[in-house]
Chains A and B, each alone.
Chain A
Amino acid sequence: MPDAVQNLQMIPLNDYIFFCSALFAIGIIGVLIKRNALVIFMSVELMLNSANLLLAAFSAYRNDPAGQIFVFFIMVVAAAEVAIGLALLVMIYRSTHSIDINALNKLKW
């Protein structure tokens, strides 16, 4: 385990922050411009995982396990969200035969 921490610390912390911010921005852009519900869903997961990576990096740099424990909590919650989200997508597909979010126009957006 000390090896893993040392390996993580070989890369400067700023690089982690820039990389995670870039991932997060890609996720936001994906949510905003994509019309396919599944792709939006994947973009949201990208946002969550960028936060995970950032937490792991901070945790390694501070030698404090709290951040990594939080990552596990996020993973559990993300798994629950995936289960709900895919079920909702299946439900939508059954009623509209499409997962394009432009088809969701029964209510005023």
Chain B
Amino acid sequence: MNAIIALSALAILTMFFGVIQKKSVLLPLILSGLIIVFFLNVIEWGTFKHYYNEMFIADNFNIAFTAALILTTFLVFIFSALYYRTVKRPLEDIYALMLFSLIGGITMASFGNITMLFIGIETLSISFYILAGSKKFDVASNEAALKYFLTGTFATGFLLFGMALIYGVSGSFNLQAINSYIIANKESIPTLFYAGMILVFVGMAFKIAAVPFHFWAPDVYTGSPTLITAFMSTIGKVASIAAFYRLISITFLNVHDFSVDILMLFAIATIIVGNLSAMTQDNMKRMLAYSGISNSGYLLFAIIAMGPKSAGTLLYFSISYAIATITAFAVIMLVREERGTFSLQDYKGLAKQNPVEAFAMAVAMMSLAGIPPLAGFMAKYNIFSVAMNGGYVWLVIVGVIGSMISVFYYFKPIIYMYFHRADAHKKIETTKAYKIHILLVSILLIILGFLPGLVIGLL
């Protein structure tokens, strides 16, 4: 709760900062604010509180995911200095919207009532709609924003109708109350309730971009400004998957047999379609969008298995995915600024000219592909073992095959960077700070690979 209040104050302060027109002050203010919020959040560890009639539940799950979301936002803000370096104005609107969507994400990880889930999703999404279109004079950005808006509100319609049906049958919006309704009437739950569940799942599948509701993701991620894409594909996914886990683990655990069938369908389709579509992409941003889609398939494994280690594994997978994706996008935005496109061809010979950036990109790609000893490998290993312990052998087989396919496309940029000769490209000039940041982030990814037990043991 501390985190949300402090973040709201920070976001409102940021919003009014445009009056002073001091670009150099704003970013350090936000970064230090985020560090303070992080500690305010962490000191509540171990206390279980609920506020406002169980609207908001502050437990360890919430605090851990809030910390992960704040860490992710912090990393995005670090790289925003490079992305917006040519912009003269202080950009207080964009930064404030990013903070507001972070608040939405935290709400999604801590709701105790379906109303709060809805408010959280909308706070996150409405900020994203604007952020996606924040490059006002770029047609691709406009198009991405409108597509995101139309598909996002369409998904909200499904979510709301499902919530209405669940409320109609169970008589409450409170997660615990719905759960006790299910336990009390296990044999005689009307079909209407299951219809509501399916609609809610469809709405959530839209938000995490699971196949067959993924079609918006590649376009929106390609069209949006690169920094915003990095932000959306990490915060949006982590918050949505946390919300999904919370919804199922508290409310629908006693009808889990029913949810598993639907979620299995989502997970298998997501892994197959996501990985196969990523193979044929030449555009790096689009490839990472499909990579994000296939990663939501792996994240669904933990929700399907619902074992004792599911929450911890979900946290670890989310963190490793978020850090790797942000590292990759940080390099992509640099290359794009210098060479003008997102094509794979631009990465030819990058290792010779910019060894630090190429190293970071290689680490990020190998982590996403799941090469030991990086964080991505431990994340995939743990999520497969959770699914295996739950007895979902076929799911694990599909996951491993998908993971093998993914090596092919994740290694493409590495091959281009290290084994192709550059055609007449100049060295890309960067700042020293950027080099240190990107090196630190990729080292974080390596260190994280050695500490999976620590993170998973938290929950």
Which residues of B212-244 are within 8 A (CB) of A?
Answer: 215, 218-219, 222-223
Question: How far is B144's CA from A92's CA once the two chains are assembled, in angstroms?
Answer: 10
Contact with B along A22-60 (1 / 0, CB 8 A): 001001100100000100110010011011001100100
Which residues of B164-185 are within 8 A (CB) of A?
Answer: 164-165, 167-168, 171-173
Task: Identify the interface centre among B129, B168, B218, B223: most chain A CB within 10 Å of its CB.
Answer: B168
A77-B143 in contact given A84-B129, A91-B136 (Cβ < 8 Å): no
Return the contact of A66 from the options B122, B133, B154, B173 (Cβ within 8 A): B173
Contact with B along A78-109 (1 / 0, CB 8 A): 00110011001101100110000100101111
Which residues of chain A are near B50, meaning CB under 8 Å?
Answer: none
- CB of A73 within 8 A of CB of B118, answer yes
Question: How far is B163's CA from A24's CA once the two chains are assembled, in angstroms?
Answer: 13
B320 on the A face (CB < 8 A):
no
- CB of B168 within 8 A of CB of A58, answer yes
Question: How far is B153's CA from A77's CA once the two chains are assembled, in angstroms?
Answer: 11
B156 on the A face (CB < 8 A):
yes
- CB of B118 within 8 A of CB of A77, answer yes
The number of residue pairs between A and B whose CB atoms lie closer than 8 Å in the complex comes to 121
- CB of A109 within 8 A of CB of B153, answer no
- CB of B153 within 8 A of CB of A44, answer yes
B119 on the A face (CB < 8 A):
yes
Question: How far is B163's CA from A96's CA once the two chains are assembled, in angstroms?
Answer: 37
Interface of A is mostly: helix
Task: Identify the interface centre among B150, B160, B171: most chain A CB within 10 Å of its CB.
Answer: B160
Question: How far is B122's CA from A92's CA once the two chains are assembled, in angstroms?
Answer: 22
Which residues of chain B are near A44, meaning CB under 8 Å?
Answer: 150, 153-154, 156-157
- CB of A84 within 8 A of CB of B157, answer no
- CB of A107 within 8 A of CB of B223, answer yes
Distance from A18 Cβ to chain B, minimum over Cβ atoms (Å): 12
A54-B168 in contact given A70-B173, A80-B126 (Cβ < 8 Å): yes
B405 on the A face (CB < 8 A):
no
Question: How far is B157's CA from A95's CA once the two chains are assembled, in angstroms?
Answer: 28
B265 on the A face (CB < 8 A):
no
Question: How far is B157's CA from A66's CA once the two chains are assembled, in angstroms?
Answer: 19
Return the contact of B192 from the options A17, A67, A95 (Cβ within 8 A): A17
**How many A residues, CB 8 Å from partner?**
42
- CB of B122 within 8 A of CB of A80, answer yes
Question: How far is B150's CA from A109's CA once the two chains are assembled, in angstroms?
Answer: 13
- CB of A88 within 8 A of CB of B160, answer no
- CB of B219 within 8 A of CB of A108, answer yes
**How many B residues, CB 8 Å from partner?**
41
Residue of B nearest to A83 (CB): B126
Task: Identify the interface centre among A27, A64, A80, A84: most chain B CB within 10 Å of its CB.
Answer: A84
Distance from B137 Cβ to chain A, minimum over Cβ atoms (Å): 8
Task: Identify the interface centre among A27, A48, A66: most chain B CB within 10 Å of its CB.
Answer: A66
Return the contact of B161 from the options A24, A64, A69, A73 (Cβ within 8 A): A24
Residue of B nearest to A105 (CB): B143
- CB of A73 within 8 A of CB of B115, answer yes
- CB of B161 within 8 A of CB of A54, answer yes
Return the contact of B143 from the options A20, A28, A89, A106 (Cβ within 8 A): A106
- CB of A84 within 8 A of CB of B149, answer yes
Task: Identify the interface centre among A48, A62, A81: most chain B CB within 10 Å of its CB.
Answer: A81
- CB of B143 within 8 A of CB of A74, answer no
Distance from A43 Cβ to chain B, minimum over Cβ atoms (Å): 9
A24-B173 in contact given A70-B167, A77-B118, A107-B222 (Cβ < 8 Å): no
Return the contact of A85 from the options B122, B153, B215, B218 (Cβ within 8 A): B153
Residue of B nearest to A58 (CB): B168
- CB of B149 within 8 A of CB of A106, answer no
Which residues of chain A are near B189, meaning CB under 8 Å?
Answer: none
Residue contacts A-B, CB under 8 angstroms, 5 given: A20-B164, A74-B118, A81-B122, A85-B153, A104-B143
A64-B172, A88-B149 given; 18 more Cβ-contact pairs under 8 Å? A17-B192, A20-B161, A31-B150, A48-B156, A51-B163, A54-B168, A58-B167, A66-B173, A67-B167, A73-B118, A74-B118, A77-B119, A77-B122, A85-B153, A104-B146, A106-B139, A107-B140, A107-B147
